[in-house]
Amino acid sequence: MNGALSSHLFTVPRFNEQRITQLSVRAVKDRGSSWKIVPSSNMELSITRPDDWHLHLRDGELLEAVVHHSSQHFGRAIVMPNLKPPITTTTAAVAYHKSILSALPKGCDFAPLMTLYLTDAMSPNEIKLARQSGVVFGVKMYPAGATTNSDDGVTDLFGKCLPVLEEMVEQNMPLLIHGEVTSPDVDMFDREKVFIQTVLSPLVQKLPQLKVVMEHITTSDAVNFVESCHEGFVAATVTPQHLIFNRNSLFQGGLQPHNYCLPLLKRETHRQAIVSAVTSGSKRFFLGTDSAPHERRRKECPCGCAGIYNSPVALSVYAKVFEEAGALDKLEAFTSFNGPDFYGLPRNTSKIRLVKTPWKVPNSFSFEWGDVVPMLAGQTLDWLPSL
């Protein structure tokens, strides 16, 4: 159903020879389906185990179904709090943390890093409790109505939320921002740009010591803004889909519901700007998949949900982008160093391999309650992650 994954960049790749070897690859099975691999002797990259700094794990049956796709390759993940009801207290975050741990495969060392859902009613004391908990590592700001399960989001950032933001500065707690305005007067494709002008820029000026992550950036405006800010205080996560898709991917060959996410995919010029930023070696940008699973019937319907389930393919896509940009030597910093450095956490010590060998993405993952369709379903990718 998704459009073909095409190559946009034509730079001859350069490689870090210290991290590349040759080996033979065998077929590997994944829970719920078989990864179809073409055996061959191919290039291998060895990188520090990555982290995912923006992940939706959901809860209940969906959590149990998808968590292994993240835990098998990522060491840690910042877990989004937009459940029903949202995770607005430290007590709720601790309970959700326990639910995730109980859903992990036996012996797995994946560490969920929890977040709180910012509301107009949150108190500064909740930030103190969050810092003391040892499991909460950020506060997520959704403008009310901006995306999935955001109806309880912020309506008065500079008024009711200001005491909370000031306490976040004191506690060195990052604010993780879905950067879009929600006014119906603003074009859907301009909402990130207007948010930067009317909300984010004034926020950074008012609280320059507040650590801010502008999540899933989609425009050259966001790239320019992040690069203009003081390094170490403002950073951005970047998704696989916003690196390889532009807004044509929503419509080519018919409406493509599994390419629909928020913020929306943008023009090709914006995609190119984001690729240039992340492959430049800048410390301001790091991996955040925004992987957001929905059951197939909630995507393929008259009012389909926003969200792309990319955890099974994310590392393969990132490797492709960096290879095409001739920047494989900068991939490890983007996937494994920049994120923990910004959050003040230690880098992972274990390694993961990326083997350049063709493998086919499953058409879907099937469970008793329904199917989940991954990004690039049914397509062949070039890089295969392996522990």
* Dihedral of alpha carbons 290, 291, 297, 301, sign: positive
8 A C-beta contact, residue 363 and residue 378: yes
- Catalytic residue at 242? no
3-state class of 54 per DSSP?
strand
Q: Which of 56, 97, 211, 258 is catalytic?
A: 56
| Omega of the bond leading into 263 within 30 degrees of 0 (cis) | yes
- Catalytic residue at 216? yes
Q: In sequence order, which residues have a C-beta less than 8 Å from that of residue 24 and are 6 or more positions away?
A: 39, 40, 41
Q: Which of 68, 69, 73, 178 is catalytic?
A: 178
Q: Which of 51, 54, 242, 299 is catalytic?
A: 54
- Catalytic residue at 8? no
How far apart are alpha carbons 101 and 110 in whole angstroms?
Answer: 8
Strand partners, 154: 143
Distances (CA, A) of 7 to 137, 227, 271, 374, 376: 36, 26, 13, 20, 14
How far apart are alpha carbons 215 and 289 in whole angstroms?
Answer: 10
Q: Which of 97, 140, 193, 270 is catalytic?
A: 140
How far apart are alpha carbons 271 and 239 in whole angstroms?
Answer: 11
Dig out the tokens for 340 from the structure. 């923990």
3-state class of 292 per DSSP?
coil
Q: Which of 216, 258, 270, 294 is catalytic?
A: 216
Q: What is the dihedral of CA 332, 328, 41, 48, to 10 degrees?
A: -10
- Catalytic residue at 294? no
Q: Which of 51, 290, 294, 299 is catalytic?
A: 290
* 3-state helix/strand/coil string of 211-274: CEEECCCCCHHHHHHHHHCCCCCEEEEECCHHHHCCHHHHCCCCCCHHHCCCCCCCCHHHHHHH
Catalytic residues: 54, 56, 140, 178, 216, 290
